[in-house]
Structure 1
Amino acid sequence: MKRVLITKKMMWVVMMLLPSLVFSTVKAQDVLKLDLEKALEIALSENPTVKVADKEIEKKKYAQKGTYAALFPQINFTADYTRTLKKQVMYMDGFDMGGGSDEPTPGMEGIDMSKGIEVGRDNNWTTGFNLSMPLVNATLWKSLSISALDVELSIEQARSSKISMVNQVKKSFYAVLLANDSYRVFKESYDNAMENYLDIKKKYDQGTVAEYDLIRADVTVKNSEPNMLQAENSLTLAKWQLKALLGMDLEMAIDCEGELADFESVLFADYMATDTTLAGNTDLKQIDLQMQQLKKTLTMQKFDYLPTLSLTGMYQWNAMNNDFKFKNYNWTPYSIVGVSLTVPIFSGGSKYHKIKQTQVSMHQMDLQRDDTKRNLQLAIKQYLDNMKTCVKQFDAAQKGVEQANKGYKIAQKRYDTGAGTLLEMNDAELALTQAKLNLNQSIYNYMVAKSDMEKVLGQEQTN
């Protein structure tokens, strides 16, 4: 009886825990559904490269604020202590020790002035505040505008990182769709081969077909299976690459929604509406910002020939004693305020050579910009030509799929009626598979070329 009660209790516990166990199993098997827009959103928020670029912008902004700080007064607290090892000796020529009489000056008896008088004390203490502030400094003022350009350049570099990331994610997403579509094509081919094999085996058992046809059908199934497995492996690798770009755990299950066929309707429209101007190209924009920096640097270097004027001030307390009885120290205040004028006269030609060096760098930047623009224009022409070729390939492949599908149905009917051979049906099925793969490949090639074109043009579309 006791054993029965224990068994009932165990059953009750299992029934209570069963819903939670089922729920945890479902949670573990959740699959993240991804479309292109969602993939780009995750990449732009989670990818380490984009985060580093954003941190660089933040760092440059702090650097700019640090440059502006040079315009404000600089106040420092100082404290110094020195120990006198050998005191200074003071000589006073013409000093009348007797005050005009034969009697020596009171307090100076026994002092031989020819040997001098030691002055100072063993311990010397100084503490106080120092102040400095630029009043006229053209070089400093110009450096502020250069620091502002540093922020602009870092923002453009961050935009470049995001554009590059969008391009990589798009191509990786298209690669997943291509691998997925290829897997479906090979799976369909395998299913057709298996269906044909089972049909031929049934006919062979009935004695209506030869053993050779059964062997050929079996070989066709065996040959289709490796292609299907390879396509499945390619799909897994493509998903791993996409998850790495998105900054996701490689073990997380994802499913990319859509097919390459979904982009068929936009092929011709995108090709005809492509804007090939380089106004948004990030490489040219960065070069232009660097050129502006060089121009401002050149102006700043020329300002080094101008005088500078600064304000200085000091308030200190001094104390000297021969012991360390601080309560007996007499602290004497000392303060000054003034202006300091610096007029550069000669520096060994360093300013002149810096100016010449900057001018050469500007000339190099001009040559680099021309070369970059020329290469970008060449890349645009190549991408346009690739897109044009892909459109033609898509048109031909689409017609090829229609004809291959019709041919496969005819070959299948001919074989069923005994008018055709198994070889004809296998050839028709192979032609259909190749036509479908060509169609998917043409769409993929077009979308990749389009994505590369958007990167060159500096477009930031996320769909």
Structure 2
Amino acid sequence: MIFLASTSAMAEMRSLTLGQAMAIAMEQNRDIEKAREYAKYVQGKYVEERAAALPQLALNGSAILTQDDSQKVLATLAPREHTRAIDLTLSQPLFTWGKVSAAIRAAEVGLKTADEQLRLYRQAAYRDVTTAFYDILLARELNNLAMENLAQKQRLLDESKRRYEAGVATDYDVLAAEVAVENARPEVIRTKNSVRTVRERLRFLLALDKDEVDAVGSLEAEVNVPKTYEDALATARIRRPELGDLRYRIGIYRELVTIAAADNKPRLDLKGGVGWHWLDVRDSGVSGNADGAAWNIGVFFSFPFFDGLKTGGRVTQAKSDLRTREIEEAKLLDSIALDVRDSGNAVKEAAEIVQALGGTVHQAERLLQMAEKGYEFGVKIKLEVDDAQLNLLQARSNLARAQRDYRVAWANYEWAMGTAGE
């Protein structure tokens, strides 16, 4: 039973390339799903606003029993009337001072905001998945380095015991090697747990409920030269989805000013109806019943020229909302300019570090080999071997971190320009 459970758990591990992880994220990421639902919402809002410009049809029916004793003045007994009717009514706005057309235009702009929202969350998913993917590769590389360091110290412990048995080393050397082995174990545990943590982060971004995920790829990357600040900023001003979304919303708020201003303006409506009516009259001098077709049609004019300044207050609010969004646009432009500059500098810094560390690892490996051989032949002391081990571990760790930082910095740079994943 334990074996089967272990086999099942292992089968659920999914090893993904960056491209495969992106494909899953674009389909299943929760934020992207929210953006798709928002697109359905604004589509419904557009249909709702457009309906105000279309004829409104309704089918109405009634059955009424009426008696009015005040009519005794006209007859000995007050008539009792039983009326029934079924009508098809029509209402069509003819002129609304631009209110209906402004609402439709605002809804049309709302459709475009949905597209920008979807772009925004897709780019955010691209950035976050890229970061989590390379965090896994880095964590696994650091775990491998920690295990190699532990294995190296274990070999030195074995060598110290061999030398001690040969009479060319002291018990101090053996004890020091044992302490070094034990001190190397916590880093193995920490890095192993770090791998699990970042894997869970990627699984969360991919919205995978049960499957465990792992990253397959390399931290190595070709170092590219970023655009100039001016070119990158120009691209960001055009491509950043949140900026496009805000600009569309400013257009919506302009239409809302028009809608608010039309509340106390004249309007014309066409209204009419057609149906069939039944009338029964009882308890009067003349009794009888009849039925027949009935219809009516007319143009209605309304002009609420004074509403206690309510419309003026709404217009003031709408204009204030519009101005607030324009201020937010200016603030966002400043923030984008800072993002572009910072992300560009981060790319340059990471690229320079990667290039600087390119040959350091090879040199540190040669240095450790020389120190180990010298220690084996008795011409090097253990401290020199420890220094060489530490130098190699630091060089490989620094290079791995620099490569990860460059990958993530480039993803953030693309995000800052509004081109992530596009």
Which TM-score applies when normalising by structure 1?
0.81
In structure 1, C-alpha distance between the alignment counterparts of 2:57 and 2:72, rounded to whole Å: 36
2:347 counterpart residue number: 387
How far did 1:48 drift?
A: 2.1
1:236 counterpart residue number: 196
In structure 1, C-alpha distance between the alignment counterparts of 2:59 and 2:17, rounded to whole Å: 61
In structure 2, C-alpha distance between the alignment counterparts of 1:71 and 1:386, rounded to whole Å: 53
How far did 1:444 drift?
A: 1.8
Gaps of 5+ in 1: 1-20, 93-107, 112-116
Of the structure 1 ranges 312-321 and 160-169, higher mean CA displacement relative to structure 2 is found in 312-321
In structure 2, C-alpha distance between the alignment counterparts of 1:53 and 1:119, rounded to whole Å: 64
Aligned residues: 410
2:232 counterpart residue number: 275
In structure 1, C-alpha distance between the alignment counterparts of 2:360 and 2:138, rounded to whole Å: 18
In structure 2, C-alpha distance between the alignment counterparts of 1:350 and 1:27, rounded to whole Å: 66
**Alignment counterpart, residue 37 of structure 2, candidates 55, 63, 66:** 55
**Alignment counterpart, residue 57 of structure 2, candidates 75, 82, 86:** 75
1:285 counterpart residue number: 244
Residues 321, 204 of structure 1: alpha-carbon distance in 2 compared, 3 angstrom cutoff: farther
How far did 1:26 drift?
A: 8.2
1:258 counterpart residue number: 217
Q: How does 1:163-202 map to 2 (within 5 A)?
A: 163-202=123-162
Q: How does 1:299-448 map to 2 (within 5 A)?
A: 299-304=258-263, 306-316=265-275, 317-320=277-280, 330-448=290-408
How far did 1:85 drift?
A: 6.3
Q: Give 3-state SS (helix, strand or coil) of 1:172's partner.
A: helix
In structure 2, C-alpha distance between the alignment counterparts of 1:322 and 1:434, rounded to whole Å: 107
Do the aligned residues in 2 keep the contact of 1:318 with 1:334 (CA within 8 Å)? no
In structure 2, C-alpha distance between the alignment counterparts of 1:52 and 1:230, rounded to whole Å: 36
In structure 1, C-alpha distance between the alignment counterparts of 2:303 and 2:68, rounded to whole Å: 39
Which TM-score applies when normalising by structure 2?
0.88
Do the aligned residues in 2 keep the contact of 1:36 with 1:170 (CA within 8 Å)? yes
Q: Give 3-state SS (helix, strand or coil) of 1:345's partner.
A: coil
How far did 1:304 drift?
A: 4.2
Q: Give 3-state SS (helix, strand or coil) of 2:369's partner.
A: helix
In structure 2, C-alpha distance between the alignment counterparts of 1:195 and 1:38, rounded to whole Å: 40
In structure 2, C-alpha distance between the alignment counterparts of 1:91 and 1:39, rounded to whole Å: 88
**Alignment counterpart, residue 167 of structure 2, candidates 207, 210, 216:** 207
Do the aligned residues in 1 keep the contact of 2:68 with 2:80 (CA within 8 Å)? no
Residues 240, 356 of structure 1: alpha-carbon distance in 2 compared, 3 angstrom cutoff: same
Q: Which amino acid aligns with 1:348?
A: G
How far did 1:86 drift?
A: 5.1
Deviation digits for residues 117-165 of structure 1, max 9, x if unmatched?
A: 62443x4433222111122232112211111011111221121111111
In structure 2, C-alpha distance between the alignment counterparts of 1:460 and 1:387, rounded to whole Å: 15
Q: What's the Cα RMSD here?
A: 2.7
Of the structure 1 ranges 80-89 and 187-196, higher mean CA displacement relative to structure 2 is found in 80-89
Residues 27, 393 of structure 1: alpha-carbon distance in 2 compared, 3 angstrom cutoff: closer
Deviation digits for residues 374-420 of structure 1, max 9, x if unmatched?
A: 12212222222222222233233334323322322222122112111
Do the aligned residues in 2 keep the contact of 1:50 with 1:162 (CA within 8 Å)? yes
Q: Give 3-state SS (helix, strand or coil) of 1:118's partner.
A: coil
2:75 maps to 1:132: no
Do the aligned residues in 2 keep the contact of 1:181 with 1:259 (CA within 8 Å)? no
Q: Give 3-state SS (helix, strand or coil) of 1:269's partner.
A: coil
Deviation digits for residues 173-230 of structure 1, max 9, x if unmatched?
A: 1111110111111121122112222222222222232222222222222121221121
In structure 1, C-alpha distance between the alignment counterparts of 2:403 and 2:309, rounded to whole Å: 63
How far did 1:333 drift?
A: 3.3
In structure 1, C-alpha distance between the alignment counterparts of 2:72 and 2:306, rounded to whole Å: 38
How far did 1:34 drift?
A: 0.8
How far did 1:353 drift?
A: 2.4
Do the aligned residues in 2 keep the contact of 1:318 with 1:333 (CA within 8 Å)? no
How far did 1:28 drift?
A: 5.8
Residues 430, 329 of structure 1: alpha-carbon distance in 2 compared, 3 angstrom cutoff: farther
Q: How does 1:27-66 map to 2 (within 5 A)?
A: 29=11, 31-66=13-48
Q: Which amino acid aligns with 2:225?
A: A
In structure 1, C-alpha distance between the alignment counterparts of 2:22 and 2:117, rounded to whole Å: 19
Do the aligned residues in 2 keep the contact of 1:88 with 1:120 (CA within 8 Å)? no
Do the aligned residues in 2 keep the contact of 1:170 with 1:451 (CA within 8 Å)? yes
In structure 2, C-alpha distance between the alignment counterparts of 1:28 and 1:73, rounded to whole Å: 63
Residues 427, 28 of structure 1: alpha-carbon distance in 2 compared, 3 angstrom cutoff: closer
Q: Which amino acid aligns with 1:422?
A: K
Do the aligned residues in 1 keep the contact of 2:127 with 2:415 (CA within 8 Å)? yes
Q: Give 3-state SS (helix, strand or coil) of 1:275's partner.
A: helix
Deviation digits for residues 437-463 of structure 1, max 9, x if unmatched?
A: 11111222222222222222211326x
Rg comparison, structure with higher value: 1
2:414 maps to 1:454: yes
How far did 1:332 drift?
A: 4.0
Q: How does 1:15-26 map to 2 (within 5 A)?
A: none
1:96 counterpart residue number: none
Q: Which amino acid aligns with 1:417?
A: F
